[in-house]
Structure 1
């Protein structure tokens, strides 16, 4: 006898439909799973057997073979448990085989028959959006947010068997959660002084420009970076769905429904290549750059990261995706994030202050070599952050709050959206030419800097994008004159001189 159920498995951040075929034949009692299951998937034979028997249902005393099709796709995790159990119940005629048609089953089974949530519920349900999906109660609202045709939530295997056998109606769905409210993070008003750095994070938030802050310890770099994510507007449905998909695949705790607030990821400087970029041996998982998709990736103590790890950021920063190839397979992860980095000018942090730096020339050069020229060139904004003046600290004069700056950022992003893009940093050269106009004076300034080698071609493009963001923040026409260009160039300071690198601006 044969019964078929539908489920899905997770590969990277995408779900793939899996057909679970359950075959019952004569022979010694056994339970075999084929079709490239991983260790967690193979262990389902024990979970499914115990759950069926605990629910008071009959376990077959025959040979049971479960095939997971397509056979060439590796299956991982416990999301297939529920489909296997439904197939066993159908093949033993405890529920009609017709009750499985047009329906998909997702969930991990406990030994007590409870149906538990699984990692990657959102992409798994998204892969099955054209079917009726049965999920654990904890995953109901995520499944509904994925746009499935019809979703039912069940709590136990016994409850599901009663429904499929026609002995009970579908249980009521969990109550609707309260409306999501954005958690208020630290306020920009807490920052004392630092007018240029405050201006830089406003421009970074408005235009999606990557930001590097360089300065001595205690100057407020980390304090400023942690307040940048509060300036970003909430994500629209498309971006929220993409960001939640990655976070769900990584097993992060999710809010009820979609994650509409931009996320801040702050990995430690000892993070490995796989932790930052993504990868793994048996299972390929998204890294920190993908978890920060449509949010902020903050790299504190940038100079302490391994140079090879930092250079791996260069391609994702340009393309917005990262492609990870391993022996277990290849995956493409989204990685459109705003990079904010902070570092000291030297190992002791006192470079630039006469008589204060304790580092040798060799130590400073080795520290500076951790940042390659191509990576430094990808930072649209580079600002020096000095310690505030004593009078400013003692007087405690406060600047604008986050709410006021966020309003300007939202207005600037609305102007970018009218151009058909999310942020000005995404403008191509052709689009930039079509949406902006350079005055003759501004064009001469750029020509002179290009001729002297102070700007690369990419640097010139980035400076113009920053100047356009400055126009948007001011509500002006997109005409880049000498004053706008001068401010954009000032926000792209030659930090390479202090670091001792030869990177082009």
Structure 2
């Protein structure tokens, strides 16, 4: 007899169907798992054996063969423990194999029979829903699985409770979706003294989802401005919240199944490796750029990142996804992020102050800035110089306008973009391209002439030209204008990089 239990294998944000086939034979006693298992799956033998022993069941003295089908699909992760254990229980007659055929099972087993959390339960629940099946998962992730909608979820704390439910003696409670977590929105823009140009650029970046680079001396407030960005961004829509939660689920970062409407804000240290930033590793996992999907990726001290690591961001920033290629698999993660970066003008940070600058100025500035490639800088829509804050600025009272007022304007601009791009694909002006961009952002005649002259004088690339149009469209949205005018083009041009980095 062969007992079959359904489960899944994760490839990026895709859950592939896997059958756990368990066979008992009268050959020499052994416990074998086949079907391209990784180390964690191979170790399931010991966890399953101990978990069954903890509930008073011993494996029979037979040859146990567990086949994970399809055999050519790599199997990674500890979530195969529970389906393997259920397959064994069905094979020895401890539970009904027919009832198990209506469920997809995922979960890690403890040595005492408890069912522990494992990454990717939300993806498994969505897969089960598509297949018209229920889901068996750990109790602590029942709220996460419940977000999948019309799917029966059996969230069991341990094997005994699960067996009791399957036999109908003690029913498990039905989990409910976890409530959206309320997260802190960061500091208020009222805390920023001066820096009106930088605050304006931050507002434009938030309204259109544009990439932003702030350059200035240490202590000018670049990091504070970036920390204020979550407070002016609109909340995620239900569809966007599900997308973000799927990435967090497969990364194991969806705490307690509580989905949030706040946009992700990730700020990795400049020592981050390439797999940490864009994804990959021995077991392919999403990187920081995917964990920031539909949110903000903040890179402080930009030139201190490794050059190769920064250049690995170029393709994701353009396409909105990351493709990680391996010899045995090809995984794609979403990465539609808003890049916000900060840097000093040179290594000492005091290029514009002769009394504080180092002896190598201005050569040190050229060497330092050259650590960031021109193609990466060309993908940044807004470049703003953040000047040092004077003592006079610090003595001024807090500004009357804070994050709440700016957030209202940003929300209105985003709402206009939602209506404009409805049914076309893009969510924000920063994502518009091709004929759609020409349709929605073509300037009037004075604006077109100014842009043409500036493109020639500033030697804008084709990418830079279109990014100016996107920023101008956002500026027009903030002003409530239907047409992109000369004044909008002029302000958009003021945020372009003046000269290429040497």
> Which TM bucket (shorter chain)?
over 0.9
Partner residue, 2:78: 78
Deviation (angstroms), 1:239: 1.7
Partner residue, 1:490: 494
Deviation (angstroms), 1:65: 0.7
Does structure 1 conserve the Cα–Cα contact (< 8 Å) formed by 2:153 and 2:175?
Answer: no
Q: Distance in 2 between matches of 1:315 and 1:176?
A: 36
Matched residue SS, 1:341? strand
Matched residue SS, 1:480? coil
Paired residues for 1:417-456 under 5 Å: 417-420=418-421, 421-456=426-461
Q: Distance in 2 between matches of 1:44 and 1:399?
A: 61
Paired residues for 1:253-268 under 5 Å: 253-254=254-255, 256-268=257-269
Q: Residue by residue, what CA displacement relative to the aligned partner does 1:166-201 show, whole Å, maximum 9, x if unpaired?
A: 241421135665554343322122111111111111
Q: Residue by residue, what CA displacement relative to the aligned partner does 1:430-467 show, whole Å, maximum 9, x if unpaired?
A: 11222234222212211212233432222121111111
Q: Distance in 1 between matches of 2:123 and 2:221?
A: 39
Does structure 1 conserve the Cα–Cα contact (< 8 Å) formed by 2:296 and 2:339?
Answer: yes
The count of corresponding residues between Structure 1 and Structure 2 is: 495
- Structure 2 residues not aligned, in runs of 5+: none
Matched residue SS, 1:267? coil
Q: Distance in 2 between matches of 1:287 and 1:179?
A: 23
Find 1:466's aligned residue among 468, 471, 486. 471
Does structure 2 conserve the Cα–Cα contact (< 8 Å) formed by 1:189 and 1:401?
Answer: yes
Find 1:143's aligned residue among 142, 145, 148. 145
Partner residue, 1:157: 159
Partner residue, 1:414: 415
Q: Which moved more, 1:295-304 or 1:398-407?
A: 398-407
Does structure 2 conserve the Cα–Cα contact (< 8 Å) formed by 1:467 and 1:485?
Answer: yes
Deviation (angstroms), 1:4: 0.6
Judged with a 3 Å threshold, the aligned counterparts in structure 2 of structure 1 residues 254 and 177 are, in CA distance, closer, same or farther, namely: closer
Partner residue, 1:7: 7
Judged with a 3 Å threshold, the aligned counterparts in structure 2 of structure 1 residues 392 and 453 are, in CA distance, closer, same or farther, namely: closer
Partner residue, 2:287: 287
Write out the 4+ residue segments of structure 1 that deviate beyond 6 Å after TM superposition. Answer: none
Q: Distance in 1 between matches of 2:217 and 2:40?
A: 49
Paired residues for 1:15-164 under 5 Å: 15-129=15-129, 130=131, 131-147=133-149, 149-164=151-166
Does structure 2 conserve the Cα–Cα contact (< 8 Å) formed by 1:439 and 1:482?
Answer: yes
Q: Distance in 2 between matches of 1:25 and 1:265?
A: 52
Q: Distance in 1 between matches of 2:442 and 2:22?
A: 66
Matched residue SS, 1:6? strand
Matched residue SS, 2:387? coil
Deviation (angstroms), 1:255: 5.3
Deviation (angstroms), 1:298: 0.3
Q: Distance in 1 between matches of 2:122 and 2:97?
A: 27
Does structure 2 conserve the Cα–Cα contact (< 8 Å) formed by 1:241 and 1:259?
Answer: no
Matched residue SS, 1:485? helix
Partner residue, 1:395: 396
Partner residue, 1:374: 375
RMSD between aligned residues: 1.8
Q: Residue by residue, what CA displacement relative to the aligned partner does 1:115-169 show, whole Å, maximum 9, x if unpaired?
A: 11101222232222221111111111111112352112111101212222x2414
Does structure 2 conserve the Cα–Cα contact (< 8 Å) formed by 1:81 and 1:107?
Answer: yes
Matched residue SS, 1:163? helix
Does structure 1 conserve the Cα–Cα contact (< 8 Å) formed by 2:190 and 2:398?
Answer: no
Matched residue SS, 1:434? helix
Deviation (angstroms), 1:35: 0.6
Partner residue, 2:279: 278
Paired residues for 1:356-371 under 5 Å: 356-360=356-360, 361-371=362-372
Q: TM-score, normalised by structure 2?
A: 0.94
Judged with a 3 Å threshold, the aligned counterparts in structure 2 of structure 1 residues 350 and 408 are, in CA distance, closer, same or farther, namely: same
Matched residue SS, 1:184? coil
Paired residues for 1:180-199 under 5 Å: 180-199=181-200
Judged with a 3 Å threshold, the aligned counterparts in structure 2 of structure 1 residues 466 and 255 are, in CA distance, closer, same or farther, namely: farther
Partner residue, 1:352: 352
